[in-house]
Amino acid sequence: MFRLIVGVVLFSKVFFYWKRTSWRSSVWRSNELAHHRTLRITSIFLGFLLVLRSGRVH
């Protein structure tokens, strides 16, 4: 449970940071792509954690 909370906190931090930079000018376009990749990796990691957790519960 604790690990899940930590994961959600990290995910929201990355998500909000990405959203804050996403509306900026085209100079930040490469930054956006990097944040998009980070967001995708984080979501995959969270999904993996969820599967691990549900596997342990059942």
In this prediction, residues 32-46 reach a mean pLDDT of: 82
How much is the pLDDT for 14? 78
Q: What share of the chain is helix, strand, coil (3-state, %, to 5)?
A: 90, 0, 10
Report whether 56 contacts 28 (CB < 8 A). no
pTM beyond 0.85: the answer is no
The yes-or-no verdict on residue 22 having pLDDT over 60 is: no
Give how far Cα 7 sits from Cα of 13, 29, 30, 42, 49, Å.
Answer: 10, 27, 25, 9, 8
